[in-house]
Chains A and B, each alone.
Chain A
Amino acid sequence: DAKTTQPPSMDCAEGRAANLPCNHSTISGNEYVYWYRQIHSQGPQYIIHGLKNNETNEMASLIITEDRKSSTLILPHATLRDTAVYYCISSPELTFGTGTRLQVTL
């Protein structure tokens, strides 16, 4: 499995865009990048995934670099409810690291 690296924590002001980076330099050509988040002690929640192209859904956007060695999850207008731990993982989806703890503040 490709290993992912994320910063341990980030802050973001409410209403601003939150940009969460992830490095996955060892990802292979057929491995997808997935993002999940975990609020408090709930089960992780799927956000978005992508292979090569940028993706957007109702929750977020995913920007993947052309060389596929890194990606950025974008929450366009962060709210207090987006405070959570965000995990970036690559398929096959077996390994979660410690993620990025995003704190959204007033």
Chain B
Amino acid sequence: NAGVTQTPKFQVLKTGQSMTLQCAQDMNHNSMYWYRQDPGMGLRLIYYSASEGTTDKGEVPNGYNVSRLNKREFSLRLESAAPSQTSVYFCASIQGGVANYGYTFGSGTRLTVV
């Protein structure tokens, strides 16, 4: 099925460990995004990539890095995980342009940092 695929679905890290969250879309979308969602909260933008080869900071970028590997893939890296980064991470993509049809979201990665 076409869509956004995130891996892994669940992860537990110890404080200070590093990991990379993977995201891939097969819809030929130009723009990709990483959000985090804390319990009972809305989504907050971490980083986004408007097109292949570009990345920009969102609302909460500290502690994260991203790589737009190619048009399909956009990864999020935690270099030194902290308990405050315990959250659900969502990747999304969109074709771009004014009259588009909205984001397509992945099913999320549930990360716990202990």
A79 to chain B, nearest CB (A): 22
A residues 37-56 near B (Cβ < 8 Å) are 41-46, 49, 51
B59 touches A42 (CB 8 A): no
Of the candidates A49, A51, A95, the one whose C-beta lies within 8 Å of that of B59 is: A95
Q: Mark B83-105, 1 if CB is under 8 A from A, else 0.
A: 00000101010100011011111
Q: Do residues A93 and B98 form an inter-chain contact, with CB atoms below 8 A?
A: no
Chain B residues with CB under 8 Å of A45's CB are 105
CB distance from B89 to the nearest CB of A (A): 10
Number of A residues, CB within 8 Å of B: 21
| Overall SS of chain A's interface | loop
Please judge, given known A-B contacts A43-B92, A99-B42, whether A94 and B105 are in contact too, CB under 8 Å.
no
Q: How far apart sit A43 and B88, CA to CA, in the bound complex (Å)?
A: 10
A76: CB under 8 A from chain B?
Answer: no
Tell me, in angstroms, the Cα distance from A97 to B22 when the chains sit together.
25
The closest CB in chain A to the CB of B56 belongs to A94
Inter-chain contact B108/A46, CB cutoff 8 Å: no
CB distance A36 to B103 under 8 Å?
A: yes
CA distance A43 to B109 in the complex (A): 10
Contacts of A44 in B (CB 8 A): 43, 90, 92, 103, 105
Check if A98 is an interface residue, CB within 8 A of chain B.
yes
Chain A residues with CB under 8 Å of B61's CB are none
Taking a contact as CB atoms under 8 Å apart, the answer to whether B94 and A42 are in contact is: no
Q: Is the CB of A87 within 8 A of B107?
A: no
Say yes or no: is A72 at the interface (Cβ < 8 Å to chain B): no
Nearest Cβ on chain A to B50's Cβ, whole angstroms: 9
Interface residues of A (CB under 8 A from B): 30, 32, 34, 36, 41-46, 49, 51, 87, 91, 93-99
